[in-house]
Structure formats: structure tokens, C-alpha cells
Amino acid sequence: MTEITQITLRRPDDWHVHFRDDDMLSSVVPATVAEFARAIVMPNLVPPVTTVAGAEAYRDRINAAVPKGLEFKPLMTAYLTDQTSADELRQGFAAGVFAAVKLYPQGATTNSTSGVSDIANVMSVLETMQEIGMPLLIHGEVTDPDIDIFDREAVFIERVLTPLIAKLPGLKVVFEHVTTKEAVDFVLGGDVKTLAATITAHHLVINRSDLFKGGIRPHLYCLPIAKRELHRQALRAAATSGDARFFLGTDTAPHGAHLKESACGCAGVYSAPVAMPVYTQAFEDEGALDRLEAFASLNGPTFYGLPVNDAKITMTRQDWTVPETIMTGEGVALKPFMAGEILAWQLKAL
């Protein structure tokens, strides 16, 4: 069999990105722009992005960080709180400022203290979103302290997501960064027009044992946390299946290395610099390079009702070593996913 040495596909989009703000933002935006034409931008700043004006201002800061000569469109989201105004969302969606709304269960992950304390508190807002066709992006974990961290996604499906979809069957839902076989099966049982899921690059590569190989690996710690190997295999099967309900969302989440390597390290994997090479390798390993374009470039726009990108990218087979450290403009060290490792695929310069 002839070895494939390059693959060309429509320029992909990243349907789940954390850019942070200020110096971090200006330092990490170029890595995403180099690979992706659009990105769904998470709103969990401090304070969170909850208003149309706040989203417009954040969008302007992102656009200012895009390298000259490259085209990129940030798709802004609203942070859902117990006090969110349905009118604010309606206005922002109609104006093309908000592409979607992000639901963080209160306390589930980084900067989620302003999140939803009980789904019942936002039901009237979700009814409005169903009415206007505005997507809801869900971090799908319960936060009860009595629930094991490795079970939080499965319990969320049972307690929250299943009743929600039964109550609002027309609500468009993206189950973000799924990590379990239960989540994959749940999405496969849903309507392709109203239920989809994003899958990260790192969850296709690591399982929970990798967090402890030779010691604690803080740069692999993320939320939702990586699960058992059987779940990783379910994610790989879903991503490479060609099923339109699954699409690319890196959940790239940069933190300074000093914050990851502290006594109480932050959750998040900075995967933007290696995202497409890692996805490409995963698809090659599964014998599914012919389905990479659907996952990376077609399924997401279809679900969101957006046109696919006309531009193309080419991935080439050429070994390269991921940098151990990437420095921000103010000298903060970032450790990218797969730091120091040799990857077989790289993006040909646009």
C-alpha cells in the first residue's frame, strides 16, 4: 500500500476555543488562526462575557491579534447565568454578534463560578433559544461533591441532558468536548439536526492512565478529565466514523506553566499549536483520512447553518518536534500538548 504523504481539505474550523485575554490572547490567537478559518470563542473571562456590548468588545480584541494577511472570524458566545436576559440573547443573535450560548454548571471548570446553579433557573431563556434557533453549548458535567469526577459526564446525561432534550426537543444542543462512551451513544441516539458533539484532539490521544505515567502530568489535566481507555476508543470511533453529529472542537485552553505546575494546578490543555497534526495522525491511525475533512471542515458548519470554507489547507507528512515551551509576549511560559514529542504530520504554510 502506498503511503499517503499529504492530504488537502477545506480549511477547517475550531468549534471550541479559549483565547483568554490581554497578553495571553495576543500570544495564542495566531496559533489558532494558522489552522482554522473560524472559531467558537468561549466566554469564561473574568468577568464573563454576558452582554452584546461585552461580546463586541472581546471580538475586537481578538481581531486585533490576528496576524496581518490571514483571514479569521471569531464566533462569539454568551455566558449563561441564572440572571441572563432572554431579550439580550435574542438581540445579540439577531444582530449576528452571538453565535451561541455557553452553559457552564456552576463550579464545573475554569471561571465557572458565575455559571448555572440549576437548569430550572434558565428554562425560560432556553425556551426562547429554541424558538429562535440559537445553539446551546453545554459543558456536560454535574458538580455534586458526592459524584466521582470520572462519573460526572455520565450522571449529567442522566440527570440533566436527557430531561432537557425531552422537554425542549427543538433546542439545538452541542454536547461539548465529550469524553465517554455514554456521551457518544447519547449523541448517536439524537436528532442530527438538533444534537451534536465536539471532540478534542487530546481526548483522542490520552486516557486517564496517561495523567500518572512516571508521576503526575499536570499539563494533561483538563476538565472534563480524561477517562478509561474504552472511552478513548469510543471517541476515536465516533470522530472517524463520518457521522455528521461529531465535529472538531479543540478546547485549547492555555495557562501559564507556573499555574499548571502549582500545588493546585489549573485545568486545561493548550493544544492549538498541534491540533491539526494530532487529529490527522489519529485519523490515519484509524484508517480514516478520507473522513477527516467531514469532521474538521464540513460537519460543524452544517450544524451551525454556516457555509463551508472555500479556502483549502494541506497537511504534509514531515516529522517535526513540538517545542517544549512557547513564551507569551510578557514572558509567561506555555507548555503545548505533546511538548517535546515528534509528530509525523504538519500544516503546510497558508
pLDDT at 112: 80
CA 64 to chain centre: 22
Contacts 24+ apart (CB under 8 A), 146-151: 149/225, 150/208, 150/225, 150/227, 150/228
Spot the catalytic one: 82, 251, 290, 319. Answer: 251
3-state secondary structure 65-76: HCCCCCCCEEEE
- Look at the domain 12-308 and name its fold: TIM Barrel (3.20.20)
Calculate helix-pair angle for 123-132, 86-94, nearest 10 degrees: 20
Distances, alpha carbon 201 to alpha carbons 26, 165, 179, 207, 331, in Å: 23, 27, 11, 12, 27
pLDDT at 202: 98
Of 155, 160, 173, give the one whose Cα is nearest residue 120. Answer: 160
Is 118 labeled as catalytic in the residue annotation?
no
CA 65 to chain centre: 20
pLDDT at 115: 93
Provide the grid cell at 336.
Answer: 503545548
pLDDT at 1: 61
pLDDT digit string (tens) for the chain, length 350 residues = 678 999 999 999 999 999 999 999 999 999 999 999 999 999 999 999 999 999 999 999 999 999 999 999 999 999 999 999 999 999 999 999 999 999 999 987 887 888 999 999 999 999 999 999 999 999 999 999 999 999 999 999 999 999 999 999 999 999 999 999 999 999 999 999 999 999 999 999 999 999 999 999 999 999 999 999 999 999 999 999 999 999 999 999 999 999 999 999 999 999 999 999 999 999 999 999 999 999 999 999 999 999 999 999 999 999 999 999 999 999 999 999 999 999 999 999 76
DSSP 245: T
CA–CA gap between residue 64 and residue 32 (Å, rounded)? 14
CA–CA gap between residue 293 and residue 75 (Å, rounded)? 20
